[in-house]
């Protein structure tokens, strides 16, 4: 597989940093604000089937299940270690979510099987090629009329946001973060065939600008 070289980059690039991931994200990304907005925007209904791609420790996945307990909620991540943490968090929260190890550019799900696909702080871990492959896979697994909701680092709002984002790039890599910082994610979503692409919100966070995007697979 051509993407195997970088099948996945761990949450904080190095596996030994994963245990502090939740703490770092809580303090550097305005996590509770943007994840609450993403959950509200996704507007998940009881009959929905939802996938969280690159779910990590499943903070968002669990929040969605708590918000809509009757929805069928799944999380996928390439890293089996972080999925173990996600499973423990879900058990502590008393929610049942389906956690699966796999890669975003080869999703282990059938065509037209989800009403919603969400992801947060995930796309900046992918090369441009793997962003394209992942968006094609999201398009494939979404039902017609289904929606994708993405929160990730976006084009910095100002010089200060651009400057602090260098710290993210130093850790996560300049190659995979370039599309984000240049504001190319909406165009890549469009290239995959999605309609109604919208940046619905953005926040100035301690390490850069977080953007919330939405798009639809036309019915």
Q: Collapse the DSSP code of 201 into the 3-class scheme (helix H, G, I; strand E, B; otherwise coil) and give the result.
A: strand
Tokens coding 31? 């996590």
Q: Collapse the DSSP code of 30 into the 3-class scheme (helix H, G, I; strand E, B; otherwise coil) and give the result.
A: coil
Query: Other C-beta atoms within 10 Å of 49: how many?
Result: 19
Asked whether position 11 contacts ligand SAM by CB under 6 A, the answer is yes
Asked whether position 79 contacts ligand SAM by CB under 6 A, the answer is yes
Q: Per CB under 6 A, which region of 74-82, 90-98, 192-200, 202-210 contacts ligand SAM? A: 74-82
Where in 170-189 is the site for ligand SAM (CB under 6 A)?
none
Q: Per CB under 6 A, which region of 42-50, 98-106, 163-171, 196-204 contacts ligand SAM? A: 98-106
Q: Least Å distance between CB 137 and ligand SAM?
A: 10
Asked whether position 78 contacts ligand SAM by CB under 6 A, the answer is yes
Beta bridge partners of 117: 51, 148
Main-chain phi, psi angles of 144, to 5 degrees: -55, 135
* Residue number, 46 or 132, with CB nearest to ligand SAM: 132
Asked whether position 9 contacts ligand SAM by CB under 6 A, the answer is yes
Rounded to whole angstroms, how far apart are CA atoms 17 and 26?
15
Cα–Cα nearest to 72, from 31, 105, 104, 109: 109
Q: Are 28 and 210 spatial neighbours (Cβ–Cβ below 8 Å)? A: no
Rounded to whole angstroms, how far apart are CA atoms 50 and 114?
6
Question: Locate tokens 């469009």: which residue?
Answer: 190
Tokens coding 204? 């100035």
* Residue number, 18 or 68, with CB nearest to ligand SAM: 18
Asked whether position 114 contacts ligand SAM by CB under 6 A, the answer is no
Q: Per CB under 6 A, which region of 73-81, 158-166, 177-185, 186-194 contacts ligand SAM? A: 73-81
Where in 12-71 is the site for ligand SAM (CB under 6 A)?
25, 54-56, 59-60
Q: Which residue is nearest to ligand SAM (CB)?
A: 56
Residues that bind ligand SAM (CB under 6 A): 7-11, 25, 54-56, 59-60, 77-79, 82, 103-105, 120-122, 125-126
């Amino acid at each position: 597989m051509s993407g195997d070289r970088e099948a996945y980059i761990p949450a904080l690039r190095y596996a030994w940093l994963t245990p502090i991931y939740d703490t770092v994200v809580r303090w550097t990304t305005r996590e509770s604000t943007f994840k609450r907005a993403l959950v509200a925007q996704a507007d998940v209904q009881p009959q929905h089937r939802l996938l969280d791609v690159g779910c990590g420790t499943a903070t968002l996945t669990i929040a969605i299940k708590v918000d809509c307990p009757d929805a069928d909620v799944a999380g996928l991540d390439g890293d089996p270690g972080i999925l173990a943490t996600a499973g423990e968090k879900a058990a502590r929260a008393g929610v049942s979510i389906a956690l699966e190890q796999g890669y975003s550019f080869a999703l282990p799900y059938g065509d037209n099987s989800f009403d919603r696909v969400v992801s947060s702080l995930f796309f900046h871990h992918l090369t441009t090629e793997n962003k394209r492959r992942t968006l094609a896979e999201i398009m494939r697994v979404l039902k017609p009329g289904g929606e994708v909701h993405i929160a990730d680092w976006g084009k910095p709002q100002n010089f200060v946001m651009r400057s602090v984002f260098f710290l993210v790039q130093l850790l996560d890599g300049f190659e995979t973060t370039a599309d984000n910082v240049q504001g190319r994610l909406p165009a890549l979503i469009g290239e995959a065939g999605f309609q109604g692409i919208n940046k619905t919100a953005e926040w100035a966070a301690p390490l850069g600008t977080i953007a919330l995007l939405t798009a639809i697979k036309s019915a």
